[in-house]
Structure 1
Amino acid sequence: MGKIIYHYCNVESFKAIIQNKAIWLSSVYNLNDYKEIHWIKDKVLKKIKEYTNKNSYEKFNSFIKLFENQQPTVYIASFSQGDDLLSQWRAYANDGFGIAIGFNTDYFEQNDLIKTSEVLYDEKQQEVEIEKILEPLLNLDDKINFESKEFEEYCENIISEINNLSAKSKNELFMEEQEVRLIHNPIIIEDEQTKQFIFKNNLSQMMFRAVCGNLIPYFELKFDYFCENKPPILEIIKGPKNKFINQEIKIFLANNGFYNVDIKNSKSSYR
């Protein structure tokens, strides 16, 4: 069996996830903390400023224009390596009345359209990753045509790597969350003639939900097909205030095709 990663949720979400056999990967632009999407971006812009001189100004300035005009097509679902974290019960599981669903990482690794990544909290390591990503740009000939399609495509690959780093990086103040993310990078292209959008390498159709006056795009990751030796769900942790009866959870899970799932209680005394 692979590692277990935990998705903390309220009872309504737990019911929907099990019955629909699906989890949602939402745009990074709709994270709970909006500052997250700027965490790496700000570091990248600072590093580019350090690299820029009179000879490379046009190159880096052209890159920044492309970088700031391109919205990341990165979609994530959040989990934790911690199976009984008080902060997670409070923030994501209805103040402890909810559930933590223990997913099997081996199951996700079978899907080439998603990547499982532990969140990177170490700022020094984040700086190292940024330098690696920007190195090809730093070494690019300053005399290249910065308005060419060639330069744009060259930059797109670098921007894609930056966006992926952004999707798995956070301030070290959040380290206690022990977060793991599923990351999905569909290709979304607008047809210039028809103005229709073309999707490639996508998990599902792009769907939308309305939350607090906002329209949030997401992709659906189904886990309705699996073999007995590699199930998607390995255990369920009941929150410290949860009132579920274990036998009833087992029946609910079995009715939806999930068997031999361990049911555990939170050890927290939080009330």
Structure 2
Amino acid sequence: MNIIKNKTVRLSDVSKSNDYRETKWLLDYIGEEVIRQYKKHSFFDGQLIYGLDEDTFLKFVVKSIKEKMLERSEELFYVACFSKEGDKLSQWRGYADDGNGISVGFNTDSLRKLINKNESLSLLQVVYPEKNSNSSFEEIRTHSTDILQSVLEAIAEGDTKKLFSRETYAIDGLHEISSRVFIKDSIKYKNPSFKEEVEWRIVYDEDLDKYTNWEDWYDEVQDKSLLSGEMKLLFPYGLQFKAYRNKIVSFFDLSFKTCMKNMINEIIIGPKSEVQEGDIHQILSYYGYEATDINIIKSDSTYR
């Protein structure tokens, strides 16, 4: 109802996802790739560091780096999740009120047109890497090479302490894995257990740190967002918050009002839903859509 009525898609803080390993999977693969690259090209010439052999030392460094990355909670990204499978039983059970909900089909070209209005918005296809796969993705190779190079430089400079430091400057100075580029890359990777979702994501990676004070975001007296210009058109309600289960989740509602024509091209009524096709047609027409251009069907899935 809110998608159709408000003509918005909700982008929520990805770190509050229902998958507790969200944005962390890439770190696991990078750790393995660092070790692989090292074993392929031995660099340390058998020297001991802090009494550890080179293999044990490198594994310890990688573990420390991963722990530091997981502590970087100030990196905020907002995501809306879509599936190429609009009528899949597991999706109905997991995300649509156990089949009582609705599946809303968006036109990809219209979504891209909307996303192109702001360079901080992007549409990404989710990758589900397999642990035993021989595939080596470019992002993994690149970040792993950066880490290994940084470790070598620290050893050459006799400054290995910074490899284990918890200070922010040490993290930033160590390698570019701590950059927003890496965090955004990690959003593309997800637990292989979710592979059947065939997921795509809209990602908003605006650097929120440039808004140094909360007063820049919100007028508490007039109870409204202080965003203006293009940002106001895209996010008319600004940054918002909701209580969800045992969490506080921040989010943006991305408006497609300025390009709503052909934005929604299909609506599938859940297998347990009592909503009628006529109900959908009525609210679409009421809120300004060309209802006759939207395919309205009942799910082919059946269960109780």
Alignment TM-score, normalising by the size of structure 2: 0.69
Asked whether the equivalents of residues 188 and 198 of structure 1 are also in contact (C-alpha less than 8 Å), the reply is: no
Cα displacement (A) at 1:135: 2.8
TM-aligned CA distance change 1:151 to 1:172, over 3 Å: closer
Q: Give the corresponding residue for 1:270.
A: 303
Question: Which residue of 73, 78, 81 corresponds with 1:75?
Answer: 78
Which residue is equivalent to 1:12? none
| Aligned residue type for 2:122 | K
Task: Specify which of 40, 44, 49 is matched with residue 26 of structure 2.
Answer: 40
Residues 158 and 249 of structure 1, relative CA distance in 2, 3 Å threshold: same
- Relative distance call for 1:170 and 1:105 in structure 2 (3 A) is same
- The worse-fitting range, judged by mean Cα deviation, of 104-113 and 135-144 is 135-144
Give the corresponding residue for 1:163: 183
Cα 1:41/1:149, change in 2 over 3 Å: closer
Q: Which residue of 2 aligns with 1:29?
A: 15
SS in 2 for 1:36: coil
SS of the aligned residue for 1:270 comes to coil
Is the Cα–Cα contact under 8 Å of residues 143 and 177 in structure 2 kept in the other structure? Answer: no
Tell me the distance in 1 between the aligned counterparts of 2:188 and 2:121: 13
Q: Out of 246, 261, 269, which is 1:213 matched to?
A: 246
The equivalent of 1:243 in structure 2 is 274
Aligned pair in 2 of structure 1 residues 67, 48: CA closer, same or farther (>3 Å)? Answer: farther
Q: Is the 8 A contact 1:66 1:152 kept in 2?
A: no
Deviation at 1:248, TM superposition (A): 2.3
Residue 49 (structure 1) shift:
5.6
Q: Which shifted more, 95-104 or 172-181?
A: 172-181
The residue that corresponds to 2:287 in the other structure is 256
Listed as ranges, the gaps of 5+ residues in structure 1 are 1-14
How has the CA–CA distance of structure 1 residues 252 and 96 changed in structure 2, closer, same or farther, with 3 Å as cutoff?
A: same
Equivalent positions of 1:144-163 (< 5 A) are: 152=172, 155-156=175-176, 159-163=179-183
Change (3 A) 1:79 1:232: same
Q: How does 1:62-211 map to 2 (within 5 A)?
A: 67-71=69-73, 72-110=75-113, 111=115, 112-123=119-130, 124=133, 125=135, 128-139=138-149, 142=153, 152=172, 155-156=175-176, 159-189=179-209, 196=214, 204=235, 205-211=238-244
Alpha-carbon offset, residue 187 of structure 1: 0.1
Structure 2: distance between partners of 1:239 and 1:151 = 48
Aligned pairs for 1:51-70 within 5 A: 51=38, 67-70=69-72
Match for 2:191: what amino acid? Answer: N
Q: Which runs of 5+ in 2 are unaligned?
A: 218-226
> 1:154 deviation in Å?
8.1
How many residue pairs end up in the alignment? Answer: 253
Please name the residue that 2:258 is paired with.
225
In the alignment, the residues of structure 1 paired with residue 175 and residue 271 of structure 2 have an alpha-carbon distance, to the nearest angstrom, of: 49
Aligned letter for 1:225? T
Bigger shift: 36-45 or 242-251?
A: 36-45
Q: Matched residues, percent identical?
A: 30
Of residues 150-159 and 211-220 in structure 1, the stretch that sits farther from structure 2 once superposed is 150-159
**Residues 68 and 171, structure 2, Cα contact 8 Å, conserved in 1:** no
Q: In terms of Rg, which structure is larger?
A: 2
Letter in 1 for 2:80: A
Per-residue deviation at 1:102? 0.1
Match of 1:247, SS state, is helix
Following superposition, the deviation at residue 43 of structure 1 comes to 2.9
Calculate the aligned-residue CA RMSD, in Å: 3.6
CA distance in 1, matches of 2:99, 2:66: 44
C-alpha spacing 1:102/1:95, structure 2 compared with 1 (3 Å): same
1:98–1:151 distance in 2 versus 1, CA, 3 Å: closer
Kept in 2: contact 1:97–1:239 (CA 8 A): yes
Contact 1:39–1:166 under 8 Å retained in 2: yes
Deviations 1:14-53 (A, max 9, x none): x111111111111121111212333222333444466596
Contact 2:31/2:144 (<8 A) preserved: no
How far apart are 1:62 and its partner, in Å? 8.9
Letter in 1 for 2:272: K
